[in-house]
Amino acid sequence: MIINASCNICGNESSYDEGSLKGSTWEINGIEIVLCCPCEDDLLKKIAKGRGIKIEFGDGGEINCLKVKNCIKVKRFDE
């Protein structure tokens, strides 16, 4: 069964099968929203940037590389 749905960010309408729609549906602050691929990528980039991670995408939109930009220091406390 094909389902038409609109991205809740940009309004782009796409056709999905049941599995694809489930994969494109996100729950954010208790609200379910549908995100198209470009809006998913933008959200991922913003979350990563806020966490000090750089994402490099390939020409086809696939993730080529994830880089941690900030040094993370861990101090271990012995018991």
Q: Digits of tens for pLDDT over the chain (79 positions)?
A: 899 999 999 999 999 999 999 989 999 889 999 999 889 888 888 888 888 888 888 888 778 887 877 665 666 666 4
In a domain, 73, yes or no: no
Q: How do 25-28 and 13-16 pair as beta strands?
A: unpaired
| Domains in the chain, number | 1
Q: How do 63-68 and 31-34 pair as beta strands?
A: unpaired
In a domain, 46, yes or no: yes
Q: Show the domain range for 14.
A: 3-68
In a domain, 77, yes or no: no
In a domain, 38, yes or no: yes
| Alpha carbon separation from 77 to 71, 72, 73, 74 (Å, rounded) | 19, 16, 13, 10
Considering only CA atoms, which of 41, 10, 36 is closest in space to residue 25? 36
Q: What is the C-alpha R_g of the chain?
A: 17
In a domain, 75, yes or no: no
Place of tokens 């220091």: 73
In a domain, 74, yes or no: no
